[in-house]
Structure 1
Amino acid sequence: MYELIKSCDDDHQWHEKKDIESALQISRSSLPPDKERLVSLDVFRGLTVALMILVDDVGGILPSINHSPWDGVTLADFVMPFFLFIVGVSLAFAYKNLSCRFAATRKALIRSLKLLLLGLFLQGGFIHGLNNLTYGIDVEKIRFMGILQRIAIAYLVVALCEIWLKGNLNVSSELSMIKKYRFHWVVAFVITTIYLSLLYGLYVPDWEYQISTEDQGSTLTTFLNLKVKCGVRGHTGPGCNAVGMLDRMFLGIQHLYRKPVYARTKQCSINSPNSGPLPPDAPSWCQAPFDPEGLLSSLMAIVTCLVGLHYGHIIIHFKDHKKRLNQWILRSFCLLMLGLALNLFGMHLNKPLYTLSYMCVTSGASGFLLSAIYLMVDVYGYKRASLVLEWMGIHALPIYVLIACNLVFLIIHGFYWKKPINNLLHLIGIGK
Structure 2
Amino acid sequence: MSDQTPLIIAGDGETTAQITALRVTSLDVFRGISIFLMIFVDYAGSSLPSVTHAPWKGLHLADFVMPFFLFIAGVSLTLTNKRVTTKTQATYKAILRTIKLFLLGIFLQGGYFNGINSLTYGVDIEKIRWMGILQRISIAYIIGALCEIWSSNFSPSDLTNGYFRKYYLQWFTVMSLSCIYTSLLYGMYVPDWEYTTDQASLFPVIDHDISIIVNCSVRGDLGPACNSAGMIDRYFLGIEHLYRKPSYQNLKECSTLENETFKDQPVWCQAPFDPEGILSSLMASVTCLIGLHFGHVLIQLENHKGRLHHWLLFSMSLLVLGLLFSSAGIPIIKSLYTVSYMLVTTASAGIIFCTLYFLVDVLCYKSLFFVFEFIGRHALSIFVLIASNILVILIQGFYWKTPDNNIIHWIVSFVTR
TM-score by length of 1: 0.85
Give matches, 1:286-297, under 5 Å: 286-297=269-280
Which residue pairs with 2:406 in the alignment? Answer: 428
Match of 2:115 among 102, 106, 129: 129
The share of aligned pairs that are identical, in percent, is 49
Residue pair 2:110, 2:130 contacting (<8 A) in 1 also: yes
Structure 2 equivalent of residue 311 of structure 1: 294
* Alignment partners' CA distance in 1, 2:217 and 2:205: 38
User: What's the secondary structure of 1:284's corresponding residue?
Assistant: coil
> How far is 1:173 from its partner?
3.9
Q: CA deviation at 1:65?
A: 1.2
- Counting only pairs closer than 5 Å after superposition, residues 364-383 of structure 1 correspond to structure 2 as 364-383=347-366
Match of 1:358 in 2: 341
Aligned to 1:114: 100
Residue in 1 aligned with 2:43?
57
Q: Aligned partners of 2:299, 2:239: CA distance in 1, in Å?
A: 44
2:216 to 230, 233, 241: 230
Summarize the Cα distance change of 1:363–1:214 in structure 2 as closer, same or farther, 3 Å threshold: closer
Partner of 2:53: 67
Q: Distance in 1 between matches of 2:101 and 2:345?
A: 24
Distance in 2, matches of 1:210 and 1:409, equals 33
Q: Kindly state the Cα deviation for residue 94 of structure 1 after the two structures are TM-superposed.
A: 3.5
Output the CA distance in 2 between the equivalents of 1:52 and 1:213: 29
Give TM-score, length-normalised by structure 2: 0.88
Q: Residue 419 of structure 1 aligns with which residue?
A: none
RMSD of aligned C-alpha atoms?
A: 2.9
Aligned-partner Cα distance in 1 for 2:330–2:272: 24
**In structure 2, do the counterparts of structure 1 residues 380 and 95 end up closer, same or farther at CA, with 3 Å as the change threshold?**
closer
Secondary structure at the aligned position of 1:287 is classed as: coil
**Counterpart-to-counterpart distance in 2, 1:96 and 1:165:** 18
Amino acid of the residue matched to residue 379 of structure 2?
Answer: A
Tell me if structure 2 keeps the 8 A contact 1:247–1:253.
Answer: yes
Give the counterpart letter for 2:90 in structure 1: A
Given residue 159 of structure 1, which amino acid in structure 2 is its aligned partner? Answer: A
Q: Distance in 2 between matches of 1:262 and 1:215?
A: 19
Name the amino acid aligned to 1:344: S
Match of 2:325 among 329, 342, 346: 342
1:81 is aligned to: 67
Contact 1:169 1:180 (8 Å CA) reproduced: no
Judging changes above 3 Å, is the alpha-carbon distance between structure 1 residues 391 and 430 closer, same or farther for their aligned structure 2 residues?
A: closer
Q: One-letter code of the match for 1:198? A: L
Change (3 A) 1:163 1:63: same
Cα separation, partners in 2 of 1:398 and 1:169, compared to 1, 3 Å: closer
Alignment partners' CA distance in 2, 1:385 and 1:179: 39
Distance in 2 between residues matched to 1:213 and 1:352, nearest whole Å: 23
Secondary structure at the counterpart of residue 264 of structure 2: coil
8 Å CA contact 1:166, 1:183 repeated in 2: no
Structure 2 unmatched ranges of 5 or more: 9-18, 410-417
- Name the SS of the counterpart of 1:40 in structure 2: helix
Amino acid at match of 2:289: L
* Pairwise CA distance, 1:329: 0.4
Measured in 1, the distance between the counterparts of 2:187 and 2:378 equals: 42
- Give the letter aligned to residue 42 of structure 1: D
- Deviation of the 1:212 alpha carbon: 1.1
Aligned pair partner of 1:332 in 312, 315, 320:
315
**Distance of 1:281 and 1:91 partners within structure 2:** 49
Q: Would the aligned equivalents of 1:268 and 1:283 in 2 still touch at CA under 8 Å?
A: yes
Matched residue, 1:22: 3
1:156 maps to which of 142, 154, 157: 142
Does 1 or 2 have the higher relative contact order (CA < 8 Å, sep 6+)? 2
Unaligned 5+ segments in structure 1 are 1-19, 417-421
Aligned equivalents of 2:268, 2:217: Cα separation in 1: 14
> C-alpha distance in 1, partners of 2:182/2:81?
30
Q: Is the partner of 2:245 in helix, strand or coil?
A: coil
How far did 1:81 drift? 0.1
In the alignment of these two chains, the number of paired residues is 399
Matched with 1:268 is 254
CA distance in 1: counterparts of 2:326 and 2:205, whole angstroms: 49
